[in-house]
C-alpha cells in the first residue's frame, strides 16, 4: 500500500468515525475500499457492509457516501491550516464545574489556618550547601556567608559531577545563571530584597521554554528546538530573584524517565530509574544537586518521581499555575508545580507561581498565603476505606491523629474505572502531536508512537462521551469533600488528575535493606486548598524530620566514566 493510500484510509476512518457511521469493522472496510479506489461511492459502501457483516438500507448508501465525502473535504481543509504545538483548542476544562462554591470558598483564608512566622533558618554546623533549605540558604546569602555567584558555581559543579550517574540534566544554563546570580548579589548588597528565592539556584523541567536555550521535550524530534519565548513560570521565578542553572530531563514527550540522553536515575538506588516524567527534577533535588526544581504533571509526573526519589512535591489544582510557554500534552490535565526537599520550600515557590495569567486562559486568581499554621482539631481527615493502605499512609494517618486531627472513613469514587477516562489524555496528546504521525516520525518517544496512531481511530463522539463521564466523576469527588477536608490514601492518582484536585507528596518513613530510602505518602484536598495541604504536611514533616536522610551516590571510576549527556552553553 502506498503512503497516499494509507493517508486516504486514515482520512476515511476519521470521517466515518466523526459521522458515527457504522461499527469499527464497517469503518475500516470503507476506508480500505476508498484507499484502493481513491473515491467513495454507494457500491463501495455496500462492499464494506459485506466485509463488516452489517446491512444499511439501500437508499442510505448513496447518502452515506456523499456525507463521508463532504466530511473528508472539510477535514482536508482543516489540515491545510498550519497549527503550532502551542495552539490551544477552543474548549476549556473547568474544575469548578462540579463545585460551584469553590471560587467563593477559595477567596479567603480558611478558619482552620492562620498566618505564622517562618521557621528558624539557621543550619546545623555540619550541613553543606547541598542540604540546606531555601530559607537557610537565604540567611547565608544575607549574612555574607556565601554569595549567589558562589552558590551558583557550587550547584553547577555538583550537577556536572552527579549527572555522570544520574543523567538528570539536558542543558546547563551557565551563562544565564551567572548573569542572574551577579544581579542578585548586587541587589542584595544594595538593600533590594525580592524575597526568599532571591539568589537561590533552581532547575526547570525541559518542557519549560527559556529564551536562548534548547527546549527539547526529552524527544529526539525536538533535540535542537529553541523557542523564542520564556515560559511564564520561568519569568516569575526570575522576577523573584531565583537563578536558573539547568534544564532538567523528562521522559520523551513527558512519559517515564527515558529520554534521548538515556534513563534518569534514582539517587538512592542508581540501578533504578527515577520514574517520570519530572525525572530530572526529582532526581537532582533528591541528590542535593539543586535546592528546588519545577516539574509538571498530567497523570502522575510530579507525584510518581517524588515518591521514587523520596522528596516533597506539590501538584497544584488545575488552573492555579500558568502553563504558557510549556509543552502541551493534555490541555485539560497539564499542571506545573514545585519539587523540593521540604514542605516550606514548596510553599515558597508556589507562592511565587500561582495566579492568573492572560497567556493561559485556564488560570485563575485564588487565595494563597505562606507560611500558614493549621489547627488540626478543626479538620476532618479521610481514611480511604476502599483502597489498601500502605505502611507510609498508616504512618501519615497516625501522625495526624496524634496531632489532633479527626480521622473518619471515606470512600473514593469506584462505580466505574477512572482509568478508562485517560483516553481523553491520549486523544488530546495525539492531536497536539499529529504532525509526528502524519510524517511517520515516531522513533524514540517511548509508547507514544502506538498511542498516537491508535487514537486516530478514536471518534469525536467517543471523546465527548468520555467528557460527560468525567463530569460525573467530578461530581462524585465533590461529594467526597462534603464529609472531609483532606484525605490520605493512594489509588487516587487517576481520579484527582482528571478532576483537577491538588495533592502533596512527602517522605514519612525510611525503608531498610541494601537500598534504604525514604517512602512517601500523599494528602489530597478540595480545589485550591494548597495552603491546608502544605500546613498539614509541615506538621508531619516536623515529626518525621526527613531532611536528615541523604543518599550516598557511588561515583564510577574515571576509567569507566560515561558521557554526562549535558549540552553546556559555554
Q: How far is CA 378 from the centre of its chain?
A: 31
Q: Which residue has the cell 491538588?
A: 502
Contacts of 87 (CB under 8 A, 6+ apart): none
Cell digits of residue 173: 544554563
Contacts of 215 (CB under 8 A, 6+ apart): 206, 207, 208, 209, 222, 225, 226, 227, 247, 327
Q: Which of 205, 236, 247, 389 is catalytic?
A: 205
Contacts of 149 (CB under 8 A, 6+ apart): 178, 181, 182, 185
Angle at 315 between CA 313 and CA 318, to 5 degrees: 170
471 is catalytic: no
Give 486's strand partners.
Answer: 381, 525
Q: Which of 11, 148, 274, 277 is catalytic?
A: 277
296 is catalytic: no
As a whole number of Å, the CA-based R_g of the chain is 25
Give 407's strand partners.
Answer: 381
277 is catalytic: yes
How many secondary structure helices (H) and strands (E) does the chain include?
19, 18
Nearest CA to 524 out of 356, 309, 302, 348 is that of: 302
Q: Which of 278, 283, 301, 538 is catalytic?
A: 301
Query: HEC profile for 339-355?
Result: EECCHHHHHHHHHHHEC
> DSSP string covering 241-263, please?
T-EEEEEE--STTSSSSEETTEE
Contacts 24+ apart (CB under 8 A), 225-228: 227/325
Nearest CA to 305 out of 518, 149, 558, 552 is that of: 518
Active centre residues (catalytic): 205, 277, 301
Amino acid at each position: 500500500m502506498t503512503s497516499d493510500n494509507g493517508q486516504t484510509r486514515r482520512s476515511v476512518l476519521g470521517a466515518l468515525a466523526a459521522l458515527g457511521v457504522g461499527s469499527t469493522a464497517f469503518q475500516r472496510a470503507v476506508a480500505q475500499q476508498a484507499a484502493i479506489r481513491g473515491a467513495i461511492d454507494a457500491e463501495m459502501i455496500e462492499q464494506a457492509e459485506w466485509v463488516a457483516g452489517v446491512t444499511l438500507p439501500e437508499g442510505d448508501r448513496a447518502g452515506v457516501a456523499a456525507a463521508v465525502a463532504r466530511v473528508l473535504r472539510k477535514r482536508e481543509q482543516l489540515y491545510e491550516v498550519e497549527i503550532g504545538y502551542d495552539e490551544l483548542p477552543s474548549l476549556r476544562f473547568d474544575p469548578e464545574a462540579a463545585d460551584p462554591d469553590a471560587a467563593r470558598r477559595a477567596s479567603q483564608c480558611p478558619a482552620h489556618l492562620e498566618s505564622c512566622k517562618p521557621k528558624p533558618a539557621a543550619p546545623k554546623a555540619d550541613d553543606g550547601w547541598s542540604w540546606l533549605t531555601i530559607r537557610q540558604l537565604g540567611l547565608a546569602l544575607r549574612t555574607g556567608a556565601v554569595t549567589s555567584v558562589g552558590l551558583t558555581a557550587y550547584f553547577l559543579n555538583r550537577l556536572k559531577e552527579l549527572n555522570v550517574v544520574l543523567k538528570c540534566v539536558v542543558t546547563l544554563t551557565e551563562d544565564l545563571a551567572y548573569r542572574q546570580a551577579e544581579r542578585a548579589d548586587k541587589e542584595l548588597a544594595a538593600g533590594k530584597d525580592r524575597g526568599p528565592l532571591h539568589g537561590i539556584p533552581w532547575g526547570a523541567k525541559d518542557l519549560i521554554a527559556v529564551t536562548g536555550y534548547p527546549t527539547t521535550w526529552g524527544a529526539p524530534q525536538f533535540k535542537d528546538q529553541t523557542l523564542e519565548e520564556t515560559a511564564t513560570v520561568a519569568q516569575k521565578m526570575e522576577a523573584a530573584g531565583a537563578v536558573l542553572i539547568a534544564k532538567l530531563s523528562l521522559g520523551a514527550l513527558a512519559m517515564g524517565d527515558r529520554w534521548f540522553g538515556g534513563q534518569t536515575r534514582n539517587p538512592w538506588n542508581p540501578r533504578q530509574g527515577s520514574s517520570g516524567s519530572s525525572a530530572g527534577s526529582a532526581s537532582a533535588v533528591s541528590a542535593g544537586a539543586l535546592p528546588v526544581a519545577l516539574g509538571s504533571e498530567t497523570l502522575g509526573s510530579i507525584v510518581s518521581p517524588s515518591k521514587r526519589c523520596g522528596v516533597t512535591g506539590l501538584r497544584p489544582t488545575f488552573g492555579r499555575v500558568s502553563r504558557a510557554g510549556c509543552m502541551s500534552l493534555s490541555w485539560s490535565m497539564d499542571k506545573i508545580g514545585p519539587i523540593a526537599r521540604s514542605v516550606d520550600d514548596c510553599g515558597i515557590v508556589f507562592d511565587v507561581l500561582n495566579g492568573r495569567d492572560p497567556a493561559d486562559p485556564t488560570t485563575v486568581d485564588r487565595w494563597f498565603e505562606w507560611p500558614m499554621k493549621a489547627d488540626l482539631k478543626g479538620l476532618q481527615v479521610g481514611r480511604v476505606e476502599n483502597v489498601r493502605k500502605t505502611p507510609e499512609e498508616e504512618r501519615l494517618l497516625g501522625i495526624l491523629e496524634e496531632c489532633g486531627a479527626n480521622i473518619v472513613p471515606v470512600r473514593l469514587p469506584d462505580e466505574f474505572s477512572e482509568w478508562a477516562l485517560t483516553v481523553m489524555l491520549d486523544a488530546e496528546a495525539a492531536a497536539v502531536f499529529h504532525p509526528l504521525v502524519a510524517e511517520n516520525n515516531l522513533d524514540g518517544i517511548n509508547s507514544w508512537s502506538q498511542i498516537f496512531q491508535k487514537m486516530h481511530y478514536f471518534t469525536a463522539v467517543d471523546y465527548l462521551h468520555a467528557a460527560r463521564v468525567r463530569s460525573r466523576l467530578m461530581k462524585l469527588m465533590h461529594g467526597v469533600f462534603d464529609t472531609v477536608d483532606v484525605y490520605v490514601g493512594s489509588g487516587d492518582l487517576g481520579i484527582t488528575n482528571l478532576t483537577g484536585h491538588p495533592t502533596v507528596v512527602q517522605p514519612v518513613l525510611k525503608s531498610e535493606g541494601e537500598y534504604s530510602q525514604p517512602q512517601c505518602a500523599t494528602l489530597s484536598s478540595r480545589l485550591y486548598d494548597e495552603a491546608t495541604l502544605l500546613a498539614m504536611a509541615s506538621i508531619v514533616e516536623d515529626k518525621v524530620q526527613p531532611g536528615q536522610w541523604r543518599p550516598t551516590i557511588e561515583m564510577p571510576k574515571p576509567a569507566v566514566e560515561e558521557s554526562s549527556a549535558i549540552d553546556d552553553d559555554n
